[in-house]
Amino acid sequence: MTSDSDVRDVRRRPLTTYVSRADDENEVRRLLGAGRLVTLTGAGGVGKTHLAAQVASSLTREFPGGVAVAGLGELRDERLVPRAVADSLGLHDTAGRTDLDAVVAYLRPRTSLLLLDNCEHLREGSVELVTALLRECRELVVLATSRCSLGLAGEQVVTIPPLAVPHDGIGTPEAALAFGAVRLFAERAANVLPAFEVTEGNVADVVRLCRALDGLPLAIELAAARIRVLSPSQIADRVEQNSAVLTSGLRMPVERHRTLRATIEWSHSLCTETERIVWARCSVFAGQFDLAGVEAVCAEDSLAVLDAVDGLVDKSVLSRIDGTGKVHYRMLRLLREYGGRQLAASGDELAVARKHRDHYARLIAQAADTWFGPEQDEAYERLTAAHADIREALSWSLRTPGESPVALEMATGTIEYWVARGAAWELRDWIDRAIDAASPETPGRARGLAIAALCAALHADLPRARRRLADAEAIEDEDAAPYVAHASAFVRMLSIEPDSMARAAEAVRIFGERGDVRRQMHPMFIQGVALAYRGDLPGARRLLGSMRRQCEEAGEYRYRSMALFGLGVAEVCFGGDLDEGERCIRAALEIDLRASDVLSAAYRVDGLAWVAARREDWVRAAELFGTAATLWERCSAEPDVAVTTTHRMFHQATRDALGAARFDAAFAEGRRRNPHDALSGPPSEPVGEQAVLAPLTPRESEIARLVAAGLSNREIAARLVIARRTVETHLQHISHKLDFVNRTQLAVWVEQRPL
């Protein structure tokens, strides 16, 4: 059990290396209150991101529509800027709208703050996005960070200075620690060497060091990493010596740029030769990466990779990220850029980039092999952690002559992942670009065209789907036959055209002959629903029941949810057992809520509304339609994609039975409810009844209570039906506000609050 003194002791340690800049924070808040676009500029490593995050986390009450943080540092493609914002909002893109359309639709009615971090390398895409958002979303405020301004009308630019440094005359630790640069050095040094303190004996050298580093946070952190083997005096001596030597001849007009470059150069000079090679090769990673990734890009060179990674972590070149399964690493963008220059100078850039691409191509292939089974969650998590680098691998393959066939293979390998992530539009774009870049003779082109048709159909873009399908059918490729049949069946089902069942059955048969059970599942669902539409309810039960059993035997659950929903639709809509139909849809919804699959949950809740309407429980039906509407909106989707006729029929029947006023009231009540309530009937008390835990927002209070109840981030996301990254963002805000470093502290704090 944790005592109060333990909590107070832990709280003395800051969550991050952020050092308060009260004046800068207040100025940024003032400008955000006066205008709609504020850009923080300044040298790399000056602390723009930390400052912006601190300000954003303090403004949650001022922006009831939410505070979203979209980091662009991992991106290297202008086209993906809107997708990054959609990801930060937890939006799916399955409604036939572009990512920008989805973001605009979501933000337009809300009073929100968007933090757009690290814009400078994607300036054109950032400018286009911000221009559109500010024009279309009148209550939106944007806070951006960039090494240069965006150059937009109405933009208020704040140049962030380095941390304050003391003058030479400062002689006591207390006086020196009043300055941000000294506090940061002391904190970072204590992280490396817990016994370190600023004392009477070393204060002059610490001050000298911070002055030599111009108060630049990144430079201070790199220097502090040496405290285990060097004293402050020795570090200061080397910084001063290297600053004089290493900055000569550099084309960097601002002195502090040269100081930072010199510090990075010095850190590089202290690395072993192997560490330098690994540093350079790790610069190819766009996001976080694990040891297997490092070993892949350093393959065939007999390098002591593990020791080098350990050394780079010790020198603060790599940051360690602890996860639930394995440790990942990340490199700050400035250090990655420096490593990239070293890699280019070595002549190994092309070979290392190809090793990087091949590693992520293998990762996708492995995920495809394990997707239909109990390792599905693990495969999804691996791909999610690697998403930035999957994008980079695809992009490299498309811009490198002769590599587009690999991009096509990667993009079409595990489409379930992209759909589950809510990024079907992005997948469609990658596939289309790969097809356009590949020659007509490229192996797998027909299969790629068929999958592109399937993706277009997912967005209800039937004209494009038919064009892609016709192109696929024109290529004589036996390997592509089941993919063409699958896409054709789906397009025909959405178009309410004949022969969808026959084409789906053909796809099921051929995939089955090839032992590809995973790819049998969706066409089997299409075939089963088509049988129900044709009046063959027993046939639909047999086929969808078989699909369900195969999923259960394999330990797979996403397609199991699909099979259950298909069985529910067959029973509810085609004269079957209403109670059994409700049980199936409920079971599907339970799976979707556990998996945080918001789009699938929207279909299931809508289906439960049909059940209530069939029972003439009109108020409950209207409430469930309201709950489903919130989910559809969250996905930027509509029920008209695949359940048009049924949805409209039951929706209109409910409205007619209640009348407009009563329907709207019940619908509004349902909108306020948690989707979990659909599993247990109406809630015993209104959502949000519990008191807010000041200084947290209502949503942060809700998440804090769930943490205290022992739920993981994934379980919290499932309970609240939000993206897990949204939960993580809320927890970061909570940590900043309460200055906590772990979940135990938060749980203790919640338990001590009055009920």
pLDDT computed for residue 346 by the predictor: 95
- Spatial neighbors of 180 by CB under 8 A, at least 6 apart, are 19, 20, 21, 163, 164, 215
Distance CA 287, CA 117 (A): 15
522 contacts 377 by C-beta, under 8 angstroms: no
Distance CA 694, CA 331 (A): 35
Helix (H, G, I), strand (E, B) or coil at 429: helix
pLDDT computed for residue 200 by the predictor: 93
91 contacts 635 by C-beta, under 8 angstroms: yes
Q: What is the DSSP letter of 641?
A: T
Distance CA 509, CA 464 (A): 26
pTM, two decimal places: 0.80
670 contacts 624 by C-beta, under 8 angstroms: yes
pLDDT computed for residue 2 by the predictor: 33
Q: What is the DSSP letter of 614?
A: H
Regions of the chain with pLDDT less than 70? 1-20, 93-96, 242-257, 301-302, 323-325, 636-637, 640-643, 681-691, 721-723, 725, 736-737, 739, 741, 752, 754-755
The answer for 522, left when phi > 0, alpha when psi is -120 to 50, beta otherwise, is alpha
Q: Which two tokens stand for residue 248?
A: 């000569």
Nearest one of 718, 744, 44, 13 to 332, comparing CA atoms: 44
Q: What are 289's strand-pairing partners?
A: 329
pLDDT computed for residue 744 by the predictor: 73
Mind listing the domains of the chain with CATH numbers? 22-159 (3.40.50.300), 173-269 (no CATH), 280-383 (1.10.10), 386-629+639-644 (1.25.40.10), 698-752 (1.10.10.10)
490 contacts 466 by C-beta, under 8 angstroms: no
Over residues 491-507, the pLDDT tens digits come to 998 888 888 899 999 99
Distance CA 379, CA 202 (A): 51
Q: Which amino acid is present at 224?
A: A
